[in-house]
Structure 1
Amino acid sequence: MKKSSVFYVIFLFFLFLLFPLNNLNAQVEKDSPLFLTLKKNDSLLFEQGYNSCDIKVFEELVSPDFEFYHDKGGITASKEDFLESVRMGICKPGSSKDPRILLPESVEVFPLYDNGVLYAAIQKGMHMFGNTTARFTHLWVKEANGWKVSRVLSYDHIED
């Protein structure tokens, strides 16, 4: 075996020691506790919060440092601004909106670790509002009093 081949084999060996395959942060299974927790929170956020205009749900599930990025509506840079836009927009008395319908088969959850400790998770998928389909990415952060949505990306809105 050539000297360069031996070096290559040793390099690969140490690479696998440093980055074991079982520690890669792949998406979690749909029956995992993390997936089910975020699925429940997503349902609360949209079924009760958005579809039913229960502002208290948003107050509970939205992180104090919340930011919302929308490809059509721009940036909402704080929890307070978000809650105000909900109160004065989609949930203003007399207003109408299309309910949010999650496309459950599209949802994926990716855990985020810091030195082996789960601190956050990315939830992404697709949903519909009337005849518009869109993608979403949510950053859920594990706080002392439960999982809170900290960042929301809402993008790729396509009318059917």
Structure 2
Amino acid sequence: MKQFKHRLILALLVTLSITIQAQEDGNSQVFNTLKVNDSLLFDLGFNTCDLSQFKALITDDLEFYHDKSGILNSKQAFIDVMANGICSATNPYRARRELIEGSLKVYSLYNNGKLYGAIQEGSHRFYERFEGKETPGSIAKFTHLWIIDKDQWKLKRVLSYDHQL
């Protein structure tokens, strides 16, 4: 019985250590790289309609799943929606996204010990601007799958969900 308890404690400690190591530390290179990429996508790409950020950081076969507006199946479809929607010169409505402080988490993905990608998750708040007035919009969660393609981090899959006003 005593040996069983020791094995159980050892198994719990091993499981706990694997769980603790699964999430990247906020100071790790992977975490910081993806935090910078998040900023490029949203602070520059989304907030200022700099579509070149999307072109540089998204895979051609992007899949984007949104709980309110459906599915987009390519980088070009995503860029077209942005260019003809929120970023259209004739659209008086603008949006701004802000990452909720402390919500960002990153989990590295390995294949036979080699880093090939990461899962990034967090929460963000959107603000709506119309005729110069900005008001708080929805808060939502996101999960991003980043892969390393030719030594560059690229966004391959997006889940945008749980939008709440």
Q: TM-score range by the shorter chain?
A: 0.7 to 0.9
Query: Which digits, 9 at most, give the CA deviation of each residue in 1:86-122, with x for residues without a partner?
Result: 1101111032222001012011000011111110100
> Is residue 75 of structure 2 the alignment partner of residue 85 of structure 1?
no
Within the candidate set 43, 48, 56, 2:44 is matched to 48
Q: Which amino acid aligns with 1:151?
A: R
Within the candidate set 127, 136, 144, 2:142 is matched to 136
Deviation (angstroms), 1:22: 5.4
Which blocks of at least 5 consecutive residues in structure 1 are unaligned? none
Q: TM-score, normalised by structure 1?
A: 0.85
Query: Which digits, 9 at most, give the CA deviation of each residue in 1:98-148, with x for residues without a partner?
Result: 200101201100001111111010000000012310000000101114100
Q: TM-score, normalised by structure 2?
A: 0.82
Q: Which amino acid aligns with 2:108?
A: P
Deviation (angstroms), 1:149: 0.5
Residue identity over aligned pairs, in percent, reads 45
Mean CA deviation greater in 133-142 or 23-32: 23-32
Query: Which digits, 9 at most, give the CA deviation of each residue in 1:52-72, with x for residues without a partner?
Result: 111111000001111100000
Q: Which amino acid aligns with 1:109?
A: V
User: Which residue does the alignment assign to 2:27?
Assistant: 31
Q: Give the distance between the partners of 2:55 and 2:102, measured in 1 at CA.
A: 28
- CA contact under 8 A between 2:47 and 2:97: conserved in structure 1? yes
**Larger Rg over CA atoms:** 1
Give RMSD over aligned pairs. 2.3
